[in-house]
Structures are given as C-alpha cells and as structure tokens.
Chain A
Amino acid sequence: MKVTVLSGKGGTGKTTVAVNMALSVPDIQLLDADVEEPNCQYFLKPNFNKSEEIYREIPEIDQNKCTACRKCVDFCEYNALAMMLDEVLVFPEICHSCGGCEKICPEDAITEIDRELGVLKHSSTQYDIDFWQGELNIGEESSVPVIEALKEKSDLQKDIIIDAQPGTTCPTIEAVVDSDFGILVTEPTPFGLSDLKIASQLMDELKIPYGVIINRAEEESDYIIENYCDKNNIDILLKIPFKREFAYLYSDGIPFVIDYPEWQAEFKKVFTEIRGVLDEKDYSN
C-alpha cells in the first residue's frame, strides 16, 4: 500500500505526520519527495550510506561549428538560449531538456551533456525504516524527474509512505499520482481550510481516495475543518492536539511518538483504517 502525505501549503505538520506514522507501522519504507526541502531527515537523523545522482541533458554549443543562424534561440520555447554578440548562450537552469535545439541545429553544433539535477540518498535509520530522500540541487527548477527517480526506489513488498511537496503543482501531483491513498494534513484555521479545499479538489480530480489529519487541533476551532469534512463526506482520520510538549520535541528534532509511545497506536490505527477503506473499495469494485 502506498500512502502519500500532502498539504495545501507548507508548515502544517505534513512531515510530522509522515515521520511519526512511519515510526508507528512496522517494516515501512519512507520516501521524502519534498525534494526542495527534504525535512524528514531532521527527525530521523539518517546515516546516508548510498547515494545516486540524477542527471538531465542540456545543450552544449560548439562555437566553432555555430554560424549564429539563431534557429535554436528562436526555437527554444523556454528562453533558455540567447544570442549575444553572435554567440549562443545556454541558461541551464531554465532549460527543460526537451532536446529540440539539438535536432533543429543545421550545423550539428549542439550536443547534449549531462547536468546533475539532484540526488537520491538512502539510509536505514536508527529506527527500523527504509528511508530514501530526494534532493533537488539549488538553482534547479524541475523537481519532477527527481521525484520520478525517487519513486522507482519503491519497495512494493513494503508499505510505503511518501512525504510530498506542499501545494498542488506538478511536484506534488507527481508524488501522489500513483498512490493508493492520500492523507491531507491541515490546521483548524481559515487558512488551513482554504488550503484543504484546494488539496481536496486535487485529490478528487486525481480520483485518489483520501482522508484528513488535523494538526494542532483545538476543541474550540476544530469545527472549521469538521464542518467542511462533514459536508463533503471526507473522513477525519486523526487529530493531533496542540500541545506545548509536541512543539518542544519538534524543535529538538524528535518525533513525538518516541516520547509518547501511546501515539504509535493511534497512527497504527489510522493506517489499519486506511487499509480497510481500500479493501472495501476493492471489494465493491
């Protein structure tokens, strides 16, 4: 079973949920697909023992062969090429590696060279977690190929939790698109609600079943999320209360289930529930 944890915006507790859940279910694989800010590592303190670079291809211009015809510059939809003083400049960060300029050059002046886009790192952590983390290199703009490569590390013998990038753009979609279930993490505030609405719309469009975890839950404000979920038939899987102790542990980089093991049972229950929902769905299909 593949479960992705996501949220409409950052800072809602998505990583908290992903890490604590991973620590509560036996024999789990955790993939940190928030490749621009992979934060699970701060809680899991992994000893990375394996890494793999992810490359993409960008053009290189042979200035001796180039006749400055400008065809490549006009062709590039992404403005990754410019012609300055009869010399073609390449802006690798903007290049989308479409390969078009190489094909279009009449002088064979363009070849494709590898550029490191990011890296995958693996560790079996001090906890019993098979942990992979994707990292996008600074300055690079396209996370999707790194997330694709990360997902290839999925060990289908295991249950998998994916920590997705916050938001609802391509990198988030790439992380969740082939998951069995999505956990949307939110907070009981008007902002939390509006982000939740956007995220749940996305899940509806992708036709992936999902449920909600309310982080920093407080009795007097939970209704903000509860009313919406009631009305739209969305399950609330868990409420993580607003607790000073949890906040302290968080800032010390300690997953709270370590100090409050009774919460492991809660997360495990959520996981079992999800499995139940999915089995039922299979059954009715």
Chain B
Amino acid sequence: MKIAVTASNNNGYESKVNEHFGRSPFFAIVDTEKEEIDLVKNPAAKASGGAGVQAAQLISDQGVEALLSGSVGPKAYSALTSGNIKMYSTKDETVRKAVESFENNDLSQLTSPNGTPRK
C-alpha cells in the first residue's frame, strides 16, 4: 500500500512531519510493502491559492491510498475524499514514526477537515 506523509524537509524516513497539508514543502511517498520511500517536492507550497486542491491532485497522481498529516483543510479534504484517499491525523515527529504509528493502527482517521485554509 502506498501512503503519503507531509514532510518539512527532504531527509528520507528522518524527515520531519509537516503540520499542514496544502503547503507542506514535501511529501514522502512510502510503499509499505516494498519499504520504499520517495520524497516529492510540493509545487503548491508556494501557490497563491488553491494549494490544498493542487496538493491533493499531486498525491492522488502518485497513486496513494492514505495520507498522514497534522491537518487537512476543507477543500483538500473534499478533493481527497473524492479521490478515495483516507486521511489520518498524526502528531509524530518523523516520517518513520508516523508510518510506524499508522501500521500499528495508532492513528485516528479524519472524518472532517481539521485545518483552516490559508489564502
């Protein structure tokens, strides 16, 4: 299964989890079976508007089934829901820990947006 984790920097599994989704500088795309990780830059990080939607498009195009993030704003939430991508809120510090928590079923699934959009 492929999952995406918001990342503040580009440092493999040790990257820091980014609190916000839309403007997260990177996404760690983790294939949990193959144990492969790939960090992709988020072009929406500096977008003037619609960052959440653009970021949702990016991770959907990567074929991920779940997203781990501190928070997800309303528009991104609705885009990801339409894309059948499940969202989980995490407070873990690193991508490695967040993925571990996810695999141990320690993360709670988001059933509504928990982030505020930034213009």
Partners in one complex: yes
Q: Could you tell me which A residues sit within 8 Å of B by CB distance?
A: 73, 78-85, 87, 89, 91, 93-94, 141
17 sample A-B contacts, Cβ–Cβ < 8 Å, listed by A number:
A78-B49, A79-B51, A79-B53, A79-B54, A80-B53, A82-B54, A82-B60, A82-B82, A83-B57, A83-B60, A84-B79, A89-B78, A89-B79, A91-B75, A93-B75, A94-B50, A94-B53
6 pairs of A and B residues whose beta carbons are closest in the complex: A79-B50, A84-B83, A79-B54, A84-B82, A94-B50, A79-B53
Secondary structure at chain B's binding surface: helix, strand, loop or mixed?
Answer: helix
Do A91 and B53 have beta carbons less than 8 Å apart? yes
Do B47 and A79 have beta carbons less than 8 Å apart? yes
Do B82 and A79 have beta carbons less than 8 Å apart? no
Do A80 and B50 have beta carbons less than 8 Å apart? yes
Query: How far, in angstroms, from A203 to B47 measured CA to CA in the complex?
Result: 29
Q: Please name all residues of chain B whose beta carbon is closer than 8 Å to the beta carbon of A87 when the two chains form the complex.
A: 82
Q: Please name all residues of chain A whose beta carbon is closer than 8 Å to the beta carbon of B57 when the two chains form the complex.
A: 73, 79, 82-84
Minimum C-beta distance from A143 to chain B (A):
12
B42-69 CB contacts (< 8 Å) to partner A: 44, 47, 49-51, 53-54, 56-57, 60
| Contact A82/B49 with A73-B57, A141-B119 known, Cβ cut-off 8 Å | no
B64-119 CB contacts (< 8 Å) to partner A: 75, 78-79, 82-84, 119
Query: How far, in angstroms, from A84 to B47 measured CA to CA in the complex?
Result: 20
Q: Please name all residues of chain A whose beta carbon is closer than 8 Å to the beta carbon of B82 when the two chains form the complex.
A: 82, 84-85, 87, 89
Q: Please name all residues of chain B whose beta carbon is closer than 8 Å to the beta carbon of A91 when the two chains form the complex.
A: 50, 53, 75, 78-79
Minimum C-beta distance from B73 to chain A (A):
11
Q: Please name all residues of chain B whose beta carbon is closer than 8 Å to the beta carbon of A93 when the two chains form the complex.
A: 75
Minimum C-beta distance from A187 to chain B (A):
26
Minimum C-beta distance from B85 to chain A (A):
9
10 additional A-B pairs beyond A79-B49, A79-B57, A87-B82, beta carbons within 8 Å, are: A79-B53, A80-B50, A82-B82, A82-B83, A84-B82, A85-B83, A89-B79, A89-B82, A93-B75, A94-B75
Nearest-neighbor residue (CB-CB) of A87 within chain B: B82
Nearest-neighbor residue (CB-CB) of B22 within chain A: A79
Q: Please name all residues of chain A whose beta carbon is closer than 8 Å to the beta carbon of B53 when the two chains form the complex.
A: 79-82, 91, 94
Query: How far, in angstroms, from A89 to B57 measured CA to CA in the complex?
Result: 11
Nearest-neighbor residue (CB-CB) of B61 within chain A: A83
Q: Please name all residues of chain B whose beta carbon is closer than 8 Å to the beta carbon of A141 when the two chains form the complex.
A: 49, 119
Q: Please name all residues of chain B whose beta carbon is closer than 8 Å to the beta carbon of A73 when the two chains form the complex.
A: 57
Do B83 and A78 have beta carbons less than 8 Å apart? no
Query: How far, in angstroms, from A87 to B81 measured CA to CA in the complex?
Result: 13
Minimum C-beta distance from B64 to chain A (A):
12
Residue in A73, A80, A94 whose Cβ sees the most chain B Cβ within 10 Å: A94
